[in-house]
Structure 1
Amino acid sequence: MKSPVAESEADPSLSVSSSQHRSLGSFCSLFQITTPSSFHSVMTCISVHQAVGEYGMAHFSELGKSKGKDYCIFFNSKWAHLPQDLNKASRLQTYDLTASVLCSASDVPKGGFPNRIAMVLRGNCTFYEKVRLAQINGAKGLLIVSKERLIPPFGNKTQYEEIDIPVALLSYSDLLDITKSFGEKRQVAMYAPSEPVVDYNMVIIFLMAVGTVAVGGYWAGSRDIKKCETVDVTPIMIAVFVVMCCSMLVLLYLFYDHLVYMIIVIFCLASSVGLYSCLWPFVRRVPFGKCRIPENNLPYCHKRPQVRMLLLSALCVAVSITWGVFRNEDQWAWVLQDALGIAFCIYMLKTIRLPTFKACTLLLVVLFIYDVFFVFITPYFTKSGESIMVEVAAGPSGSSTHEKLPMVLKVPRLNFSPLSLCDRPFSLLGFGDILVPGLLVAYCHRFDILMQSSRIYFLACTVGYGVGLLITFVALALMEMGQPALLYLVPCTLLTSLTVALWRRELPLFWTGSGFVVNNTTSPSDPGAIW
């Protein structure tokens, strides 16, 4: 625990952004992380060593009345605990001293704060000095009004033992609303409602993930996919890719504020291409807009594309740009991000082709090790004691941009807790948790078509992916500690596929992908031809 310092000099690492956990150290929120360099997801219970902060509620109402309005507060339970139920919280009259910072005895009004909740401005001295003056002058609690970002009101062990009244931070904008709504004679009750670790939005995350893997894997083996539209992954490419993953992750950790915008731009470009790729097979069946544009020398238009192609391109780019401009609108921007993300994942599953089960195994095992290393091992090397992946996923606490990496599917929590006033927490699933196992699902579907095996490999691997995702969710809820999702997804998908191959006595063909090379030379009329 750091020694007390003036609030104006408080360590910025103590601040907590709204998309992190509501209760650091006592509450866990799902942070499943994926960047172009970190194809994984992880459940993170972040523990801030310098200070522990929790979101709570301050219920203001007119004096003598119970009906009022909730406002978000940020408190530290080490000073004093707050009840979880509003009905069990004491309703006390406030003493508005927000014209003062309460840093010396001269700031204390005559008569003190008998049996009241004092409200003062933040600044000029430590939290301990403020709450000590409030306590010895009869206050039953302290609300510190802050014009800056809310941070945990911290102290040291001795100070925590001395103080027995709650202390919390309240935003200045909320104070203005409180003054307007309730005037001078008002009362407040402070409480900290609890939330379930597992939320119903997990069902939506599960359906989106499994659905994307199933659709992408099925489409990847379709006869509509031509060989020229795919990219075969070799062992050398896998090695280069993993090195790039490690390098980019470390660079993001070191230079997050500079690189995060580059990732946002890349996502906008890639997702618009993915959306076009997914919508074009449907648009080309529309009997309108088949006419071509006139001859011209414009870039990308010299081949005279069809009007409907240009219109679809404009639509996809417009959707991507709309998300880019309004990406921080928590109320609805997540819907666009999910739609673009699903389209991007399906496009990648159609485009990237692992030619053998051997290549699938190599990629998944290497990324399995990479995932575990950057979640469990890197905390021993970082100054903060946090894993590099956790820091990159949540956005470094000292980040000046407060931007989040977009390479995730996100769904807001669906429980209707008062704490939704404090932030809008999301459950996040990284693209890598879809793409990496999804490439194996796509290989299984191609092998099914080759062997005419009624898609048994495809179905088994898809079910294995779903089971692995369920195990991940259960582990997150039960263990309440960092869990790399590939720790569960890789064994479930690999072992399921391997078991089916052994049961059907097709392991040699499945391992080497032997029929695919022969298949490339078959004629289009051959029923076994899939490219």
Structure 2
Amino acid sequence: MHRVLVVWITVNVSQMLPFSQQTNCQQAILHVLNGSTAQDFCIAYNHSWTPLPQTLDAAEEYSLVNMTSTTLCNQSGVRPEVVKDKAMVVMRGDCPFSQKAQVAQSLGASVLLIASLETLVTPSADNYSGVQIPLALMRYGDFVEAQQVFGEEMQVRLYAPRVGRIDPSLVILLLISIITVALGGYWSRACERDGLSSSGGCGSAGYKADSGDLFLASPLKVVIFVALMCGMIILMYYFYNYLVYIIIAMFCFASATALFQCLNAVLEKLRCPSGSFTIRNTDLSARCLILAAVCISVSVVWAVYRNEDRWIWILQDILGFFFCLNFIKTVSLSNFKICVILLSLLLLYDVFFVFITPFFTKSGVSVMVQVALGPNASNEKTQGNMVAIPAEPQAPTEKIPIVMRVPRFSAWALNLCQVQFSILGYGDIIVPGLLVAYCSKFDVWMNSKKIYFFSSCLAYLLGMIATFVAMVLSDTGQPALLYLVPFTVITSAAVAGCRGEMRQFWTGTFYEVLDSSREPLLSDARTARTD
């Protein structure tokens, strides 16, 4: 049950997929150079009144004048000939940004940089009329570092790399999700087929399917299951700082277990020798021991370096892939009725905790986002086109490992400011994946040549594409289950209806017999193994 509870705490967090139009990007790059030495730093600017070139080659080069001894609220102490046609850096404070910009422009400066000891925010004010020079905020610590590296003779260029609305990271997330769902369905099919073959059919009284370790076979169990999820996410919202470490520990255990189960199944399929031996009347397998050590080591490495955003996302996605894959194979839904009830309740759960809860939270951030991103989620919420960048490196905040993360490649240069990710919740893979797994097993029961499996996988793919399209068009995150559930459920029902198998598809076969005195819906002859 450990690996079950981890993912169901927050079923879907795909609504945080960060899409930004190029016009909404308020972060830029300060390229500092002196001779052959160069270094880039993060700056915050306002594109609406200080447009910057999109490439370094197109950016004009200026000499930088150190005026951090003044806040530049007036011209006193600054000689125009010193800053004329140059970039100048002053300190933040004492007066509005617009006033500093007007003073710098009257002195003949070409660029104004404001060194800040506080959080960098998008420069904004009401009175920017007449201001023609670029203005941007930079970290004071970055300026000190630049002085130490380049001395006082610095040249600077300012540019804002283009950030597209459609990022290549979406393709990677799409591939990860569809491959995981397809493999999960295929694995469930293989287990079901092997189980039926060894038992002599689904009507065999002694048969117990090994395609899943946890069965959801009644509506009451599903309702209780979803209710527990609601309670858990609420507890996480109020006691995040305490429970996050428990969830991280559970994920380490669950992901290591899933990695072992998946790799061991592959090795079994390849007929790799187990290297069995006995110690004190206990049978052991050298292959399993080595594999377990490797899986535990991978999980421990992730736990140790989980806050290294630059590269740990690769390992988290690998563990997440096997986690979701093993979950789809482990949990079995007994019939289409249970699938509809579960997916419908989770859709309502998703929409409620994403769209409704912001009206009740103090920060205006949904409970789903708060739990997924941690206590600082409210700080990451943008106000219109505004951004906020910490003035100093911040201690990493713990986050629940329940998402696939891929860096936004179109914003790669802006990772100097903060690493930007496209993310997809594990629930957006697992929840529809359970339906795909049921469809795959139903193919085995009905000898239907994988028609249900392929159609449900195609429906999932189209649902994911619809989710991404909606995000791009609205420029805001969307709960993926809002699209995935209708696509997969309606498609599966349509296939069953067209084939005249809705009654069997709705009520299932063997699993319902476990809880009732009814005869199996299908005869043994129709459950013969098919390839």
Band the TM-score falls in, shorter-chain normalisation:
0.7 to 0.9
- Picking from 474, 483, 488, the partner of 2:483 is 488
- Picking from 36, 41, 54, the partner of 2:26 is 54
Give the whole-Å Cα distance in 2 for the aligned partners of 1:258 and 1:401. 16
Q: TM-score, normalised by structure 1?
A: 0.80
Q: Work out whether residues 101 and 123 of structure 1, in 8 Å CA contact, stay in contact via their aligned partners in 2.
A: no
Q: Deviation of residue 487 (structure 1)? A: 1.2
Measured against aligned partners, the alpha-carbon deviations of 1:139-190 in whole angstroms (never above 9, x if no partner) come to 4433233456x421455x4345586543323234533453345332223222
The answer to whether residue 246 in structure 2 is matched with residue 262 in structure 1 is yes
- Picking from 179, 198, 209, the partner of 2:177 is 209
Q: Work out whether residues 78 and 160 of structure 1, in 8 Å CA contact, stay in contact via their aligned partners in 2.
A: no
Q: Secondary structure of 1:343's match?
A: helix
Tell me the equivalent position of 1:431.
426
Residue 39 to residue 128, structure 1, CA distance change in 2 (3 Å): same
The answer to whether residue 430 in structure 2 is matched with residue 441 in structure 1 is no
Tell me the equivalent position of 2:495.
500
Give the whole-Å Cα distance in 1 for the aligned partners of 2:106 and 2:246. 53
Give the whole-Å Cα distance in 2 for the aligned partners of 1:138 and 1:383. 46
Tell me the equivalent position of 2:71.
102
Give the whole-Å Cα distance in 2 for the aligned partners of 1:66 and 1:291. 63
Q: Deviation of residue 94 (structure 1)? A: 1.4
Q: Deviation of residue 288 (structure 1)? A: 4.2
Q: Work out whether residues 101 and 124 of structure 1, in 8 Å CA contact, stay in contact via their aligned partners in 2.
A: no
Residue 502 to residue 40, structure 1, CA distance change in 2 (3 Å): farther
Q: Give the superposed CA RMSD.
A: 3.3
Tell me the equivalent position of 2:213.
230
Give the whole-Å Cα distance in 2 for the aligned partners of 1:206 and 1:335. 15
- Picking from 151, 154, 157, the partner of 1:189 is 157
Tell me the equivalent position of 1:36.
9
The one-letter code of the counterpart of 2:339 is C
Measured against aligned partners, the alpha-carbon deviations of 1:268-319 in whole angstroms (never above 9, x if no partner) come to 1111111111112234432242113335xxxxxxx55433322222211110
The answer to whether residue 264 in structure 2 is matched with residue 280 in structure 1 is yes
Residue 339 to residue 417, structure 1, CA distance change in 2 (3 Å): closer
Tell me the equivalent position of 1:292.
278
Residue 412 to residue 292, structure 1, CA distance change in 2 (3 Å): farther
Q: Deviation of residue 461 (structure 1)? A: 0.6
Greater Cα shift, 78-87 or 486-495: 78-87
Structural mapping, 1:142-161, within 5 Å: 142-146=112-116, 150-155=119-124, 157-160=125-128
Q: Work out whether residues 353 and 443 of structure 1, in 8 Å CA contact, stay in contact via their aligned partners in 2.
A: yes
Q: Secondary structure of 1:353's match?
A: strand
Residue 161 to residue 402, structure 1, CA distance change in 2 (3 Å): farther
Gaps of 5+ in 2: 1-6, 196-207, 381-394
Gaps of 5+ in 1: 1-33, 296-302
The one-letter code of the counterpart of 2:250 is I
Q: Deviation of residue 509 (structure 1)? A: 0.8
Give the whole-Å Cα distance in 2 for the aligned partners of 1:35 and 1:92. 54
The answer to whether residue 310 in structure 2 is matched with residue 327 in structure 1 is no
Give the whole-Å Cα distance in 1 for the aligned partners of 2:514 and 2:225. 28
Structural mapping, 1:88-127, within 5 Å: 88-98=58-68, 100=69, 102=71, 108-111=77-80, 113-122=83-92
The answer to whether residue 328 in structure 2 is matched with residue 349 in structure 1 is yes
Q: Work out whether residues 172 and 406 of structure 2, in 8 Å CA contact, stay in contact via their aligned partners in 1.
A: yes
Q: Secondary structure of 2:278's match?
A: coil
Give the whole-Å Cα distance in 2 for the aligned partners of 1:247 and 1:160. 50
Greater Cα shift, 285-294 or 248-257: 248-257
Q: Work out whether residues 74 and 152 of structure 1, in 8 Å CA contact, stay in contact via their aligned partners in 2.
A: yes
Q: Secondary structure of 1:143's match?
A: strand
The answer to whether residue 264 in structure 2 is matched with residue 271 in structure 1 is no
Give the whole-Å Cα distance in 2 for the aligned partners of 1:458 and 1:373. 30
Give the whole-Å Cα distance in 2 for the aligned partners of 1:313 and 1:471. 39
Q: Secondary structure of 2:163's match?
A: coil
Give the whole-Å Cα distance in 1 for the aligned partners of 2:349 and 2:514. 34
Greater Cα shift, 390-399 or 203-212: 390-399
The one-letter code of the counterpart of 1:212 is T
Measured against aligned partners, the alpha-carbon deviations of 1:338-373 in whole angstroms (never above 9, x if no partner) come to 111111111111111110100000111111122222
Residue 85 to residue 438, structure 1, CA distance change in 2 (3 Å): same
Residue 527 to residue 510, structure 1, CA distance change in 2 (3 Å): closer
Tell me the equivalent position of 1:375.
354
The one-letter code of the counterpart of 2:155 is Q
Q: Deviation of residue 517 (structure 1)? A: 4.3
The one-letter code of the counterpart of 1:37 is T
Give the whole-Å Cα distance in 2 for the aligned partners of 1:251 and 1:143. 45
Tell me the equivalent position of 1:169.
137
Structural mapping, 1:383-394, within 5 Å: 383-394=362-373
Q: TM-score, normalised by structure 2?
A: 0.80
Tell me the equivalent position of 1:72.
42
The one-letter code of the counterpart of 1:483 is Q
Give the whole-Å Cα distance in 1 for the aligned partners of 2:101 and 2:372. 35
Give the whole-Å Cα distance in 2 for the aligned partners of 1:294 and 1:346. 36
Q: Deviation of residue 335 (structure 1)? A: 1.9
Q: Deviation of residue 378 (structure 1)? A: 2.5
Give the whole-Å Cα distance in 1 for the aligned partners of 2:447 and 2:113. 70
Measured against aligned partners, the alpha-carbon deviations of 1:55-109 in whole angstroms (never above 9, x if no partner) come to 10112234xx8995432212234563333344554433211123x3627659843
- Picking from 343, 360, 369, the partner of 1:364 is 343
Q: Work out whether residues 84 and 109 of structure 2, in 8 Å CA contact, stay in contact via their aligned partners in 1.
A: yes
Q: Secondary structure of 1:56's match?
A: strand
Give the whole-Å Cα distance in 2 for the aligned partners of 1:244 and 1:127. 51
Q: Deviation of residue 247 (structure 1)? A: 2.9
Give the whole-Å Cα distance in 1 for the aligned partners of 2:341 and 2:70. 61
Q: Deviation of residue 439 (structure 1)? A: 0.4
- Picking from 444, 450, 457, the partner of 1:462 is 457
